């Protein structure tokens, strides 16, 4: 499936991730919505990585560690 791109989340994985957390067993996700959630998760991960990378660069570091991630996490979670 081309729309997954090189390193995106698989539709099936997304479906299972969501169904694991639904309270009502009858809740389903349609195919388009699955692909869109996959896209949303991809954006989420890339944002987390990119913001942490920017933080590391602001600190003149070559390596991103959890410390940099911790600093960008609050705003990331506010944006999603």
Partner 1 sequence: MAAGGEEQREMLTQRLKAAVHYTVGCLCQEVEEDKDVQFSKQSIAAIAEITFRQCEIFAKDLEMFARHAKRTTVTTEDVKLLARRSNSLLKYITQKSEELASSNMEQKEKKKKKSSAAKGERSPGEEEAAVTENEDSNMA
Residues of this chain that interact with partner 1 (CB under 8 A) are 1, 3, 6-13, 16-24, 26-33, 35-37, 39-46, 48-50, 52-54, 56-57, 61-66, 68-69, 73, 77-80
Comparing CA positions, the residue from 10, 74, 75, 1 lying closest to residue 39 is: 10
Q: How far is the CB of 64 from partner 1 (least distance, A)?
A: 5
CA–CA distances in Å: residue 59 to residues 15, 26, 46, 47, 64: 38, 48, 20, 18, 10
Q: How far is the CB of 66 from partner 1 (least distance, A)?
A: 5
Q: How far is the CB of 79 from partner 1 (least distance, A)?
A: 5
Instruction: Supply 60's token pair.
Output: 């003149």
């Amino acid at each position: 499936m081309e729309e997954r791109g090189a390193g995106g989340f698989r539709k099936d994985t997304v479906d299972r991730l969501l169904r694991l957390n639904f309270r009502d067993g009858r809740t389903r996700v349609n195919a388009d919505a699955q692909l869109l959630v996959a896209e949303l998760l991809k954006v989420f991960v890339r944002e987390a990585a990119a913001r942490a990378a920017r933080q590391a660069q602001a600190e003149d570091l070559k390596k991103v560690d959890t410390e940099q991630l911790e600093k960008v996490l609050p705003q990331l979670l506010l944006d999603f």
